[in-house]
Amino acid sequence: MACATALGQGLTEDEDIKVMLKGSLLWKIKSHRGQKERLYRLQEDGMTIWFESRFQRAHSKQIFSIVHIEGVREGYQSEGLRKYGSSFPEKHCFTIVFKGKRKNLDLAAQREEEAQTWVRGLNKLMARVKAMSQREKLDHWIHDILRQADKDKDNKMCFKEIKNMLRMINIDMNDIYAHQLFKECDKSNNDRLEEHEIEEFCTRLMKRPELDDIFYHYSGEDCVLSVEELVEFLQDQGEKTNLAHARRIIQTYELNEKAKQQDLMMLDGFMMYLLSADGNILNQEHTRVYQDMNHPLCHYFISSSHNTYLTDNQIGGPSSTEAYIRALMKGCRCVELDCWEGSNGEPVIYHGHTLTSKILFRDVIESIRDYAFKQSPYPVILSLENHCGLEQQATMARHMKTILGDMLLTETLDGQVPRVLPSPEQLKGKILVKGKKLPDLRGDLENLSFLSDEEEEEEEERDGRRSSHSLQDIKPLQAKDASQVSQELSDMVVYCKAVPFLGLEHALRNPQAHEVSSFNERKARKYIKESGNAFVRYNAQQLSRIYPAGLKMNSSNFNPQEMWNAGCQLVALNFQTPGCEMDLNDGRFLENGCCGYVLKPRFLCNGQSTFQPEAPLQGSSHKSIMLMIKVISAQQLPKLNKEKKNSIVDPFVRVEIHGVPIDCDKKNTLYKINNGFNPCWNEKLTFQLRVPELALVRFVVEDYDNTSSNDFVGQFTLPVNSMKEGYRHIHLLSKDGASLSPATLFVHVKFKWL
């Protein structure tokens, strides 16, 4: 694939792109001493950047793809540059932020204009990638594989190079069949495939027989879809359609101009449609805010983070403002600030009594100010865990007021004591503080107890930490008056007053909309099992926060689904810990435009609800559905062990249902030996869902191993009510949530109401 194909017309002549293709000497900044000048250059594919050391002859093998870039920040807009970039003018500096857990790349150019050139160029390339069709991404992927497989760089490939390429793309093809295909494409009979012959070889590899069958079923003998035939297919897909809609699809996705002029669709155009967003399993209407945002806050699931400041485990991992930025950019709406006494009168944030590093409270508030509303306009809650004395509490309040300004909500919207929580719509662009509040003169004795359940549990955890020999000498600065609350900090708390939980009976008898209690996962689970309906009714009226219990060395998470089943809103997870639990969290908040607020089902918003999360069929009028999923095939699965050339995945698919206990289920397909390129299963998996409104579906691809645990390949999770029926592609994600493009699953989905 030529550079013009990768970049698109216009970008090849762009002055910024020309500079990037030529390359620039940039300083990579890691610490005060760790500053290295390297040559960074955009490769001719327009999609990857490699760099080499200025003082080494051999090129570095380190390459990164434009696809993996989350964003570009100018100036000292990263923790690394704020700490170590002072030897370079701010306008010379910029930061490349990657998707997933990969660390930022902090760079400095020799001239301001050169830095601006790279910032503009990278943004243009990122926009180009975002606009690429699945076919273009596929073409780039094949081009990159061919470039790596062509060892002698002569743009011709012998059979040995072709075999190497097949292994690179996860196919262990029979030698006889591979050689036969090679000879059929070798039109020049010189035992070398030249450019157009290589293209034909790849075209044959890319054939999708399962798509051919669907297309020919609807197109008939002429092998061309008319508008009327496309309408029939779309209706079978469960789409609301008409002739005008079908014509728009043809005009959008058909590749052949003559066919397009006659309102006809060829096989390639049909494939483009099914690989597009319109052919995605995720309902595209749900990728924007489509729910009513005028309900009280307690009627929503709210994306929430625990120990937000950590980028790794909670015992010795680093704390970073970058962790807050990443959480907020994922749509998180409730972040935790673990505040301790710092030196020079400045409070710090870190995991007390551990070896985690410290960051300034002030720096965290600045990061929250800058990124709180970039992903979502709806309110952000700062969950304060306060271990500071009165003086530094006043400093915290002053920083929040000065830095956040009008964003900070410091009084109720109507000036009255809240009887009902305001809505996300009413609180757009506002930051709320969750913390302890001083009682007024009318308060009773119960209000004089400041220590919440959450803090009692945190103290238990710290006792455990202190008992560890390796941590027993760690003594954080904690003031003697830390159990008190300063007036300045108390005044910041409006709608999220942290209070100890005095039992469900008391809470239901005396509902206080603006009060929030916190529960560790064990206590929440106990209430769900023993008083599930009462807990549901409690959560219909006020907010509850659930957080991981105990001392978890690896910052593992609990299953959030069982908490959502009971209507708990602020289910706080360690965002830095990938795994099934975070997949579920990402899937839950995938809908409603990833805004961090998802409206709970109606039966979880009713203070008189009879819903029992552990036994939902008792006294329930829920409509059950049968979910039928046919797992058809997969395409371009990633190679797991790139060091072992002969290592090919043996993939299988597991479909998991996460919902109320009676709905939870998982079923596997058989595994396919040595084929991660185009494995085909055609297996039907059926699930009965009694409460589909709460259910999530997680599609997982794993590499089968009969001697050890299976290796994770990719996954995608989404709510049942956001799934589309019919033939659908699923675009797989990595363990840390980054795209695995062009890897996809192809399935057929059917719902049947019971």
> What secondary structure does DSSP assign to 23-83, as a single string?
-EEEEEESSSS-EEEEEEEE-TTSSEEEEEETT-SSPP--EEEGGGEEEEEESS-SHHHHH
Judge if 410 and 424 occupy the same domain. yes
Flag whether 532 is in a domain: no
Residue 472 above 70 pLDDT? Answer: no
pLDDT of residue 299: 98
Before 742, cis peptide (omega within 30)? yes
Flag whether 547 is in a domain: no
Residue 506's H or E segment, with its range, is: helix 504-509
Say what the pTM is. 0.90
Among 252, 279, 306, which residue terminates a domain? 279
Judge if 423 and 494 occupy the same domain. yes
pLDDT in tens, 32-42: 676 888 999 99
Measured in whole angstroms, how far is the alpha carbon of residue 557 from the centre of its chain?
16
Strand, helix or coil for residue 527: helix
Q: How many helices and strands, by DSSP H and E, does the chain display?
A: 22, 27
Report the alpha-carbon angle 732-735-741, nearest 5. Answer: 30
Judge if 163 and 263 occupy the same domain. no
Residue 379 above 80 pLDDT? Answer: yes
C-alpha to C-alpha distances, 279 to 220, 242, 727, nearest whole angstrom: 22, 17, 8
pLDDT of residue 5: 47
Judge if 245 and 275 occupy the same domain. yes
Residue 141 tokens, joined:
């992927």
* Burial bucket for residue 738 (CB in 10 Å: 0-12, 13-18, 19+): middle
Amino acid at 375: Q
**What mean pLDDT do residues 401-419 have?**
93
> Domain tally for the chain?
5
pLDDT in tens, 676-720: 989 999 999 999 999 999 999 999 999 998 888 899 999 999 999
Residue 433 above 50 pLDDT? Answer: yes
Flag whether 19 is in a domain: yes
pLDDT of residue 646: 65
Judge if 313 and 435 occupy the same domain. yes
| Phi, then psi, of 329 in degrees rounded to 5 | -75, -15
Handedness of CA 639, 641, 647, 650 (dihedral sign): negative
Task: Quickly count: other Cβ atoms within 10 Å of residue 153's Cβ.
Answer: 7
In the beta sheet, which residues pair with residue 631?
683, 747
pLDDT of residue 552: 59
Least Cα distance to 651 among 736, 710, 729 occurs for: 710
Judge if 214 and 199 occupy the same domain. no
Residue 107: domain span: 3-131
Residue 623 tokens, joined:
């409509």
Flag whether 60 is in a domain: yes
**What mean pLDDT do residues 498-523 have?**
95
Judge if 593 and 647 occupy the same domain. no
Flag whether 566 is in a domain: no
Judge if 251 and 150 occupy the same domain. no
Binding residues for Ca(2+): 307, 336, 338, 385, 648, 650, 674, 703-705
Can you give the length of the chain in residues? Answer: 754
User: Looking at the annotation, which residues are catalytic?
Assistant: 306, 351
- Cβ-proximal residues to 49 (8 Å cutoff; 6+ apart), any chain: 20, 40, 41, 42, 43, 63, 64, 65, 66
CATH (domain of 253):
1.10.238.10
pLDDT of residue 369: 97
Task: Quickly count: other Cβ atoms within 10 Å of residue 418's Cβ.
Answer: 17
CATH (domain of 707):
2.60.40.150
**What mean pLDDT do residues 207-212 have?**
93
CATH (domain of 29):
2.30.29.30
pLDDT of residue 273: 95
Handedness of CA 18, 21, 22, 24 (dihedral sign): positive
Among 131, 160, 184, which residue terminates a domain? 131
Identify whether the C-beta of residue 167 lies closer than 8 Å to the C-beta of residue 645: yes
Binding residues: 307, 336, 338, 385, 434, 436, 518, 545, 648, 650, 674, 703-705
CATH (domain of 308):
3.20.20.190
Flag whether 238 is in a domain: yes
pLDDT in tens, 655-682: 999 999 999 999 999 999 989 989 999 9
Binding residues for substrate: 434, 436, 518, 545
How confident is residue 101, by pLDDT bands cut at 50, 70 and 90?
confident
pLDDT of residue 600: 98
Residue 143 above 90 pLDDT? Answer: no
**What mean pLDDT do residues 410-422 have?**
91
Flag whether 290 is in a domain: no
**What mean pLDDT do residues 200-223 have?**
90
CA distance 98 to 95: 10
Judge if 159 and 123 occupy the same domain. no
pLDDT in tens, 42-72: 988 888 898 876 555 444 457 888 988 999 9
pLDDT of residue 54: 52
Flag whether 749 is in a domain: yes
pLDDT in tens, 2-14: 344 455 555 778 9
Identify whether the C-beta of residue 338 lies closer than 8 Å to the C-beta of residue 317: no
Least Cα distance to 146 among 129, 130, 127, 169 occurs for: 169
Least Cα distance to 547 among 352, 380, 307 occurs for: 307
pLDDT in tens, 577-634: 999 999 999 999 999 999 999 999 999 999 999 999 999 876 567 789 999 999 999 9
Runs of H (alpha helix) within 132-281? 134-149, 159-168, 175-185, 195-205, 209-219, 227-236, 243-253, 257-261, 267-275
Among 83, 112, 131, which residue terminates a domain? 131
pLDDT in tens, 441-469: 544 444 444 444 445 445 444 444 443 44
Judge if 672 and 745 occupy the same domain. yes
Judge if 50 and 123 occupy the same domain. yes
Identify whether the C-beta of residue 573 lies closer than 8 Å to the C-beta of residue 304: yes
- Pairing, β 625-635 against β 739-753: antiparallel
pLDDT in tens, 530-541: 999 999 999 999
Residue 510 above 70 pLDDT? Answer: yes
% of the chain surpassing 70 pLDDT: 89
Judge if 385 and 491 occupy the same domain. yes
